[in-house]
Chain A
Amino acid sequence: MQKAEAKKNWTITSEAFHRFLDWLDEGKSSDGRNYLEMCARLVSYFDRKNCRNPNELADETLNRVARRLEEEGTIESETPAKFCYITARFVFMESLRGKDKAGVSLDDVLLKEGHKVARTEETEETEIKEKRLQCLEQCTEKLEAASRAMIVRYYYGEERAKIENRRALAASLNISVNALSIRACRVRDKLEACVGKCLG
């Protein structure tokens, strides 16, 4: 019982965190990028599972992995990515038992949104939208010129025109449409993160 309590109250130390980062990097320093990528993957995983608090569950997963690493000294049975997945799965199962599953239906969402809209004045909504666009503009300006041109053109057009546009863009960059979509996806992830930060 005491052991379980100790585990629950365990907090990561600076030393343990650095050990965890090194382990994630697998001997090739990524300056924390692997950690951020793993965080994002965990959040997406719990989100796809419709968990109510994906960020918290992601934190819990990383915490457990770091604790295990601290206890064992090293984890060699699996790759870091696989071990994080296995741990996330346990955390998810536990969250199900704890009725942590999100299970939010669209009706609830629409109800909430509707409720919110009902409470929000129209001018406020316009302001938020403008703020978002402003942030987007700022974040887009921060991109490299080539990335900015590519991402804007990538999302231009509708249906058939959009497809043709992307094909032409891929040809002009001398890459496949698939590679272009991955490249655009990465740029958009950056933008999304930047806008999130900008909006606070």
Chain B
Amino acid sequence: MNTKTYNTENLTAYLLGALPEADAEIFDELSFTDDGFAGELSAAEKELVDSYVSGELKGENLKNFESFYLASPLRREKVEFARNFQAFAAKEMADKPVAVVESPPKHGLAQILSNVFLIRRPFLQWGLAFAALVFMILGVWLLRENVRLGSEISESQRERDELLKRESELQEREKQLQAELANRQTANSETEKELAKIREERAKLEQELKIRQSQQQQRLTEQRAENQRTPNAPEKRGLSIASFILTPALRGSGQLQSVSIPPKTAAVALRLELEPNDYAAYRVVLKNQSGDRILWRSGKLKSKSSGANKVLSVGFPAALLKTEIYSLEVSGLTATGAVEIISDYPFRVVR
């Protein structure tokens, strides 16, 4: 048995000395330490005594009551009190049934008013009646005020709830926007980095292109000047030579240099701008577009200096070239005689 399992039956058994000793000891302790239990026990005892007095106690309980409960003078006193009290209650109920049965005066206005009219002095009676009336009017007014205030409070509560809800929604939206902004800032930052990188690369390429164009222009000017210095040479031989400057193919540039060969050109002279290297000598091979056929092969060539760069000058008959794409493959010869391909000079021929 634990503290939660007491009920009318085992409380009655305890009061009648019919509970096993171990359980009785638990109840003994609870009767001191647990106010709730003490209250229930006291109520159960009064019920038991009342049942006995009114003749409702039967069987084993009646037997135990008479043999155990009535053994104590104090308990017999309780029985006596119950007997008298029941008689008194019955008498009271017979004398004033309405006053005591229907509604406690503490709570009922009708009862208060009816009690007022039980007073025998008319002056006081009317005075009290007037006071009661004033209180009644006051009560009605207070009731109305109470209802009004209640309504206002509930309205305020509703508005407050709505504001709280709105605030909560706004907070939620703010969080979403902040998160979105943070994402966008991250993405923007990455894009900006990439863009900067691309711009940097582009600037480098443009710079390089400008340098090369400038160099090409310079060489072209030099070539023209040289041509002007020896204006009759081809004519003396009855030959015309088309001269061009080629730069090495830039990886990924996609731009193809064009060589426009006028009619009646007998030979083509090309100046190949070399990338920095340490080779002692070079060989150049002219290949067709697919690279499977060698159209012309140079002998061992030495490079010349042109400004900061080195150049190779090659020449071959113009008849080798049609309107097509060709490539000059430059190889370097090492000191040991080994051949290493350095770069390609693809170009488009326009006739």
Q: Which residues of A contact B (CB under 8 A)?
A: 38, 41, 43-45, 47-48, 50, 54, 79, 81-82, 84-85, 88-89, 102-106, 108-109, 129, 132-133, 136-137, 140, 144-146, 148-153, 155-156, 158-159, 172-173, 181-182, 184-186, 188-189, 191-192, 195-196
B32, B40, B68: the one contacting A45 at CB < 8 Å is B32
A48-B15 contact given A136-B84, A146-B106, CB 8 Å threshold: yes
Question: Is B84 a contact partner of A132 (Cβ separation < 8 A)?
Answer: yes
**What residues of chain A lie closer than 8 Å to B106, measured between beta carbons?**
144-146
B-side contacts of A181, CB under 8 Å: 43, 47
Q: Which residue of B lies closest to A49 (CB)?
A: B28
Task: Please name the residue on chain A nearest to B54 by beta carbon.
Answer: A158
A158 to B101, CA, bound (A): 15
Q: Per a CB cutoff under 8 Å, which of B33, B66, B77, B104 touches A85?
A: B33
Least CB separation from B47: chain A residue: A181
Contact of B28 among A89, A109, A184, A185 (CB under 8 A): A89
A109-B70 contact, Cβ under 8 Å, with A146-B107, A182-B40 = yes
Interface-lining segment among B87-95, B189-197, B285-293, B301-309: B87-95
* B72 surroundings in chain A (CB, below 8 A): 47, 50, 54, 102, 104
B residues near A159, Cβ cutoff 8 Å:
54, 56
Majority secondary structure of chain B interface residues (helix, strand, loop or mixed)? helix
Contact with A along B72-111 (1 / 0, CB 8 A): 1011111011001111111011000001110111110000
B28→A85 contact, CB < 8 A: yes
Q: How far is the CB of B115 from chain A (nearest CB, A)?
A: 8
- Bound-state CA distance A129–B29 (Å) is 37
**In the complex, what residues of B have CB within 8 A of residue A184's CB?**
43, 46
**Given A82-B33, A132-B84, A145 and B71 touching (CB < 8 A)?**
no
